[in-house]
Chain A
Amino acid sequence: MLNFDLEQDQLILRNTIRDFAEKEIAPKAEELDEKEEFSVEITKKMAELGLFGMFVSEEYGGSGAGYISYIIAVEELARVDGSHAATVAAGNSLGIGPIYYFGSEKQKKEWLPMLCSGEKLASFGLTEPDAGSDAGATKTTARQTNDEWIINGSKIFITNAACELSGVTIVQAVTGKLQNGKKELSCILVPHGTPGFTQRPMKKKMMWRASNTAELYFDDCAVPLDNTLGKRGDGFSQMLSTLDGGRLSIAAMGLGGAQGAFELALKYSKERHQFGVPINTFQTISFRLADMATEIEAARNLLYKACWLKQNKRAYSKEAAMAKLYCSEVMRRVTHGAVQILGGYGLMKEYGAERFYRDQRLLEIGEGTSEVQRIVISRHIGC
């Protein structure tokens, strides 16, 4: 049975988020991007709407709306602004997700309600200056004393980890050596405010300028052993699983961003007259728009299928990598085309295509570069 209809609540959700993004985010997006400013106000409003903890069950303060609904929300935010989509996507799939899926009952009760209400944001501390695609090269260590972890090291490019709402970071650290000689990796919850844990916002970004990105430093930072997420030594598999989900969020940002840039270009092409006629009457423009629309449709189908697999508890790792790879590359082609169709105006901040063009660039890098996605996919297909 093949069924492409969304549920009624998903249609209502899409209209609601679209309305919200157009009224509350769009008027401020350009200025926040220009000033490189994270908006606590908009983040709080997104939280009021219930955008944090959408896939979390009600007993922990979520709305239990499911993964497809969550992805539609990220898509609709990204259609208007990448930065705000990033705040929600990272808060959910990298912050709330690992605690919800791997946390102990006590950890879930302690953190999820305040994360789902948007009182605090959680973040995922994985990448290090020398451990990017090679995530296993983590150097940050957690040494065990009687009842505490003593963490030392640093993290980089961590979303949502240095703003006034930042509440907890899930830190991946080396906690020992396995019998096969490999590192034992564990994830540890480190509340902000713990002595020895400092955060520095990273500025001068090319993209997502209104989202918060941090460098983190751990200097003999002590937390209780109870703060271990799940079991000691599960850090690597938790990270891989978290990134599978995170990839769907990035794909949603690619899809939404492509949709936003496409709509901008389509609208402009109807209004812009050259040689006495609207430019969309030129085949070179209309064919380019037709290609954009086709690729966006294909991207949406691939992404929704991957989400459907996840929501129905099927294996989705391959499809998540494919969706992430494809959606982010579709947005590259679409934003490139949008800037081209807007011509000189495409280069000006005021017209919006420029921001989509910059925001796209991260999508081929974050949560596994396109090259890493190709590695993942090639392994799945038996290479």
Chain B
Amino acid sequence: MNIIVLVKQVPDTETRIKLKAGSTDIDREGINMVLNPYDEFAVEEAIKIKEAGGGSVVIITAGEAKAEEAVRTALAMGADRAIRLDGAEFAGADSYSTAKALAKAISAEQYDLILCGKQAVDDDSVQVGTLVAAMLGIPSVNMVTKLEVAGGSMKASREIEGGHEVVEVPTPCVITAQKGLNEPRYPSLPGIMKAKKKELKAVALGALGLSADEVGAAGAKSAVVELSLPPERKAGQVFEGEAAEIVPKVVKLLRDEAKVV
């Protein structure tokens, strides 16, 4: 089975995010960047399917040069080769223009299955996988926690409110990975060394076959107008005394200040 995995490099979840002054972006200077945790599930699942039944695993990212680190991590886990969409034109994309570029890159490949994380943990838009499927005209199943290959189709199990739903879709299709799908392996040292020699092709806009107004900020359907940090949490208040005298005070504050009751 030929599998394509879409990945994104995101700030380490423990990073303290700072805003970049005068922009609608975060300050990326000096922060640790990692492979998006949900994409790790997708990479692991792809490698498992390949190990069980053969085929190939190709990684595609739309990130800048720095994102090659995340791509190499996926190669170190066991993917075969990778493609990175390269060029300033791709910058400032929203989910739509990202998906457009990715779908175009995918259509130049042989594929039976496309896997990606259900969302990237930085912008949390939860759209790219589904958009790619729509643009390629193939089905998609989101937030999958169990996946089986069943002949020419995939059997995907997903968590729904109060239970599980099992969906069968013909291949090719897009499956987005939810936590619980598998336990991603650590890239081993020999794997990391081997990954250095695997093909990682940078594909420029021209070679992709799209024009500059279709990708990046120019091709976006939406624009970020403002970015702000959550308000700092205030220190808690401690009430002392008998329950009978505290309760009315707490209720009053919950109603008047916190406005939750």
Query: B189 and A13: CB pair below 8 A?
Result: yes
Q: Are B187 and A64 neighbours in the complex by a CB distance under 8 Å?
A: no
Which interface class (under 10, 10 to 19, 20 to 34, 35 or more) fits B?
Answer: 10 to 19
Classify the secondary structure of A's interface with B. Answer: helix
Quick check: A50 and B190 within 8 Å, CB to CB? yes
B186 touches A12 (CB 8 A): no
CA of A64 to CA of B197, assembled, Å: 13
The answer to whether the Cβ of A382 comes within 8 Å of any Cβ in the partner chain is no
B193 x A12 contact (CB < 8 A): no
Q: Take A9-B195, A12-B76, A273-B235 as given contacts and tell me if A63 and B69 are in contact as well, using a CB distance cutoff of 8 Å.
A: no
Given A273-B235, A276-B235, A54–B192 Cβ distance below 8 Å? no
Interface of chain B, main secondary structure: helix
User: Within 8 Å of chain A (Cβ to Cβ): is B119?
Assistant: no
- With the chains together, A11 CA to B12 CA distance in Å? 13
B188 shortest CB reach to chain A, Å: 5
In the assembled complex, B72 has its CB within 8 A of some CB on chain A? yes
CB-CB under 8 A from A12, the residues of chain B are 69, 72-73, 76, 187, 192, 195
Residue B45 CB within 8 A of the other chain: no
B30 CB, min distance to chain A CBs, angstroms? 12
Per the bound structure, the CA–CA distance linking A65 and B193 in Å amounts to 7
Once the chains bind, are B189 and A63 in contact (CB under 8 Å)? yes
B189 near A65: Cβ-Cβ < 8 Å: yes
* Beta-carbon contact of B69 and A11 below 8 Å: yes
Q: Is the CB of A63 within 8 A of B193?
A: yes
Q: Which of chain A's residues 51-96 have a Cβ closer than 8 Å to chain B?
A: 51, 54, 58, 63-65, 69, 73
Residue of A nearest to B183 (CB): A23
A116–B34 CA distance with the chains assembled, in angstroms: 28
Given A13-B192, A63-B193, A8 and B186 contact (CB-CB distance below 8 Å) = no
Whether the pair A9, B192 counts as a contact (CB closer than 8 A) is yes
A54/B32 contact (C-beta < 8 A), A8-B72, A273-B235 known: no
Q: Digitize B20-51: 1 where CB-to-A-CB distance is under 8 Å, 0 elsewhere.
A: 00000000000010100000000000000000
Give A278's nearest chain B residue, CB to CB: B235
Q: Which of B32, B68, B187, B195 has the most CB of A within 10 A?
A: B187
Please give, as numbers and ranges, the residues of chain A lying within 8 Å of B192 by CB-CB distance: 9, 12-13, 16, 50, 63, 65
Q: Which residues of A contact B68 (CB under 8 A)?
A: 8
B234 to chain A, nearest CB (A): 11
Minimal beta-carbon separation of A263 from chain B (angstroms): 10
Complex-state Cα separation, A363 to B196, whole angstroms: 35
Interface hub of B189, B191, B192 (most chain A Cβ within 10 A) = B189
Residues of A with C-beta under 8 A to B76: 12, 16
State whether the Cβ of A217 lies closer than 8 Å to any Cβ in chain B. Answer: no
Closest to B34 in A: A15
Contact of B193 among A15, A20, A49, A64 (CB under 8 A): A64
List A contacts of B73 (CB < 8 A).
Answer: 12, 15-16
22 contacts between A and B (CB under 8 A): A9-B72, A9-B193, A9-B195, A12-B69, A12-B76, A13-B189, A15-B12, A15-B34, A15-B73, A16-B186, A16-B192, A19-B186, A20-B186, A48-B188, A50-B188, A50-B192, A58-B193, A63-B189, A63-B192, A64-B193, A65-B189, A65-B192
10 closest Cβ pairs, A-B complex: A50-B189, A63-B189, A50-B188, A63-B190, A63-B193, A9-B192, A50-B190, A12-B73, A20-B186, A16-B187
